[in-house]
Copies of this chain bind each other. A is one copy, B any other.
Amino acid sequence: MAPAEHPRMSDVAERAGVSLSTVSRALRGAPGVAPAVRENVLRAAAELSYVVSRGASSLVTGRTGRIAVLVPFLQPWFFGVALAGMNTRLRAAELDMLVYQVGDVEELDGYVRSLPLRSNVDCVVAVSLDLDEGEIKQLDELGLPVVFCSQRVEGRPSVFIDNTGAARGATQHLLNLGHTRIAYIHTRDQTGFSWSSQERRRGYEQAMAEAGAEPFVVSERPGHDGGALAMGRLLSVSHPPTAVFAESDDVAMGALRVLRRSRLEIPEAISVIGFDGSDFAELLDLTTVAQPVFEMGVRAAELAADIVETGRPSTAQVELPTTLLVRQSTAAPRRSRNLTVRAAPHS
């Protein structure tokens, strides 16, 4: 490793028979270099398989060519897709992507305090961090521009969907099918990351109110487990719902598992709708509200790239559309249906 010292710019200059600054200009595509000379330099660089050291150049330009992406989790489908979207767009902008998992607000605080980002990246993209105003202000202490992805923040560059409207639409779908006893599964954990969840809940409540139906919200912890627990609770009340709207596909899948194990047919016994449009929803024929996650990543990266390239702050608000994907997990309720219809002889 050590024997093969990397070539420096002066090596290229020597080989091409020009000066250092000419090499710099040529490699950078800066104007003011004769085409022939430029070609010479490029060839010399290629022959030495030379690459400019970003560290050195950013020391003088002040730009690092890197952006940081902050995500609350790395594992869920959503974040993989979002990162893939960003990756695509960032590559086009020749920006590298630093990924940090910030599990909770406390950790975010730690990050901001230790500031490992400052002078290390040009911009940070916060994905689904669902921060409140105070936390956003904290991020400012980094002294870096911040782009919000999957969260709408007024006055800040952000890419988002209309959670409330989409949730209202999903609820309306169930109402239109003839359901009236529609439950909403909502999650919340201690860390306090739950903005979009709140917005979706609001959309559900609006639609229910407009229809004159009684809202019925159960709150559990996030993830499959929460969905399973919530479904268990819903199946234990005296008058169970005929349809369930889960805050996310993840949560819906937990609910589906419980229904399957209870031998309750979907959608005959109960309709289920999720949110996200994950590919697992497709596998399970789950009706869901799809959001364009990949494109959200792309657009967020685009905003970041713009900010880095122009050096100007931005307040762009990018709202992306959602799509209701109706599949086999939702259908009209059976007339005067009762969940116990199969098991109860006295039906």
Contact = CB atoms under 8 A, between A and B. Distances in A.
B118 A100 contact: no
Contact of A55 (B59, B83, B280): B59
A96 B75 contact: no
A49 B112 CA distance: 10
A116 interface: yes
Interface in A1-19: 1, 4, 6
A101 interface: yes
The secondary structure that dominates the A interface is mixed
A257 B145 CA distance: 45
Contact of A56 (B54, B59, B143): B59
A193 interface: no
A49 B141 contact: yes
A5 B88 CA distance: 32
**This chain: how many copies in the complex?**
2
A120 B141 CA distance: 26
A280 B252 CA distance: 12
A256 B75 CA distance: 23
A211 interface: no
Given A53-B119, A254-B283, A84 B97 contact: no
A101 B87 CA distance: 7
A42 interface: no
A302 B116 CA distance: 20
Interface of A: 1, 4, 6, 49, 51, 53-56, 58-59, 64, 66, 73-77, 79-81, 83-84, 87-88, 94, 96-101, 114-116, 118-120, 141, 143, 145, 224, 253-254, 256-257, 279-280, 283, 313
